[in-house]
Amino acid sequence: MSEATVAKVALITGANKGIGLETARQLGALGITVLLGARDLKRGEAAAAELKREGIDARALKLDVVDAGDRKAAAEAIGRDFGRLDILVNNAGIGEHGNSTLTTSEEALHNIFETNFFAVVAVTNALLPLLRKSAAARIVNVSSILGSLTLHATPGSPIYSVKAFAYDASKTALNAYTIHLAHALKDTKIKVNSVHPGWVKTDMGGAEAPMEIVDGAKTSVRLATLADDGPTGGYFHMNDALPW
């Protein structure tokens, strides 16, 4: 069977709930096979079963992004079952609560960077050989508007008074990775972009957030399904480019 007749394959990390699960749902509704990366396999399997009841080809994959063994096993499983990966959505991330810039501990910095930055690089590196086997792979790094240095430094901007140092810095570093990885892959058909999903009603975003989860997934889905003439090395919310 030729690649043209085979459904695209997408891996979404942190996909057993929230924006990750909704991203999988929307990609699956497009006929894409979705692999739900989850630290807890049972929760991943429950989420996959939910999507299967909606007619989506969804499969759970044990993947704690900070675990080197999980990353290696996930890459081997995808290679064995599909031979390639068409879409990688680096969605897994953790937040920060109750720390000011002056009180953020080194431990908090290390923990948040481990998940939000270092693990993204490691997961991407583990899967890049499979992404290179796709006709035109897409890598989506789920960042945040809080990673924007320009907006943080601009009085009156929407985020000027919102400072969560460890989290913000981890997303700024992730944006730098997006720029560098896109440049490194500029002579391929692989596209790499950062997304700000919005302030969404999730466990991290809280009930007071103005956006619903269904809308929070839309930017990731758009960039995961870009046409060949779409952007790479960008930073987006919905259809709008954000300042670095």
Residues designated catalytic:
167, 171
Instruction: Let me know: does 167 contact 115? Beta carbons within 8 Å.
Output: no
- Provide the angle, in degrees to the nearest 10, between the axes of the packed helices 165-184 and 119-131: 20
Element (H, E) at 72: helix 68-81
The whole-angstrom separation of Cα 195 and Cα 89 is 10
Cα Dmax for the chain: 58
Instruction: Let me know: does 35 contact 11? Beta carbons within 8 Å.
Output: yes
* 241 phi/psi in degrees, rounded to 5: -80, 140
Rg over CA atoms, the chain: 17
**Which tokens in the block code for residue 233?**
């090395």
